[in-house]
């Protein structure tokens, strides 16, 4: 079974600074999707960014970007110019190309310090 | 932007009681899911539902769980006889496609506390 590991239960960052959240995963599949979800205090999980495993290029969405290292099975999220609204729990998730079940990590709680 | 709505936001129930968690998926979505997150642990898949039947379920989804789409808009999760270990945040999600490239749309969750 696929496993997703987030080794940082908590992280903090100064407003306007950059922070990187780590995620590793284990799979025997070659084609899959990786996601970062954000869960703010309002609790609704919001998709932040996704990466398709067959694409070499790292995904970018405005201030959010990923560092996808397929051989190392690593998928980190970089948040640039951190804002107070970025404070949330961040979940890394894996989904195989052919399955509709997500596998989540345990999450990283991000605090943004004014 | 369309949302998945879950009610109630918090439910407290006594051990052994039946509980129904409600979800209103996005109106044109066809695939529906329940996940749960025990405090401090991973978000775990429970079940997926399509065309009025379960398409996939996890080991967690045993005989005490059931799902239903009773009226074409609501999607419910029933726990027949709650146990203390059922205390968790339960998330509903929906998608338009079976293999959504852009992931699901999740609701805000229902926190279930079994006492």
For residue A1, the model assigns a pLDDT of: 66
Pairs of residues, one from chain A and one from chain B, whose beta carbons lie less than 8 Å apart: 62
| pLDDT, chain A, mean | 93
Kindly state the average pLDDT of the residues A42-46. 78
Q: What is the pLDDT of residue B4?
A: 92
- Residue B98 predicted with pLDDT over 90: no
Contacts of B57 in chain A (CB under 8 A): none
Say what the pLDDT of residue A32 is.
92
**How far, in Å, CA of A26 to CA of A13, rounded?**
28
Average pLDDT over residues A42-68: 90
Q: For residues A45-73, b (16+ Cβ closer than 10 Å) or e, as one string? A: bebbbbbebeeeeebeeeebbbbbeeeeb
Among B2, B32, B106, which would you mutate to test the A interface (most chain A Cβ atoms within 10 Å of its Cβ)?
B106
The answer, yes or no, to whether residue B100 has pLDDT greater than 70, is no
pLDDT at residue A42, as a whole number: 67
Chain A positions touching B44 (Cβ under 8 A) are 104
Rounded-to-integer distance, Cα B20 and Cα B22, Å: 6
For residue B89, the chain A residue with the least C-alpha distance is A43
CA atoms within 13 A on the CB side of B16: 0
Is the pLDDT assigned to residue A62 strictly greater than 90?
yes
**Closest Cα to residue B4, out of B110, B108, B99, B111?**
B108
pLDDT at A114: 95
Identify the DSSP state of B104: -
- Nearest-neighbour CA in chain B from A97: distance (Å): 7
Which tokens hold the place of B92? 């509903």
| Mean pLDDT of all residues in A38-54 | 87
Nearest Cα of chain A lies from the Cα of B2 at a distance, in angstroms, of 12
Q: What is the least distance, in Å, from the CA of B28 to any CA of chain A?
A: 18
Evaluate the CA torsion angle A24, A37, B59, A52 in order and state its sign: negative
């Amino acid at each position: 079974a696929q496993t997703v590991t987030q080794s940082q239960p908590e992280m903090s960052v100064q407003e306007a600074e950059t922070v990187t959240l780590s995620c590793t995963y284990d799979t025997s599949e070659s084609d899959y999707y990786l996601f970062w979800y954000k869960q703010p205090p309002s609790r609704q999980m919001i998709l932040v960014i996704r990466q398709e495993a067959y694409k070499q290029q790292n995904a970018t969405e405005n201030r959010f970007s990923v560092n996808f290292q397929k051989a190392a099975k690593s998928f980190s999220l970089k948040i640039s110019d951190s804002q107070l609204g970025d404070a949330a729990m961040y979940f890394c998730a894996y989904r195989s190309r052919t399955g509709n079940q997500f596998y989540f990590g345990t999450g990283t709680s991000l605090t943004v310090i004014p | 932007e369309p949302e998945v709505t879950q009610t109630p936001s918090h439910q407290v129930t006594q051990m052994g009681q039946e509980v129904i968690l409600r979800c209103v998926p996005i109106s044109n979505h066809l695939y529906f899911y329940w996940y749960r997150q025990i405090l401090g642990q991973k978000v775990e898949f429970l079940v997926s539902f399509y065309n009025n039947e379960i398409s996939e379920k996890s080991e967690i989804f045993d005989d005490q769980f059931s799902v239903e789409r009773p009226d074409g808009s609501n999607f419910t999760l029933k726990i027949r006889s709650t146990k203390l270990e059922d205390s968790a945040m339960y998330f509903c999600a929906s998608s338009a496609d079976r293999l959504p490239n852009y992931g699901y749309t999740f609701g805000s969750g229902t926190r279930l506390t079994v006492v």
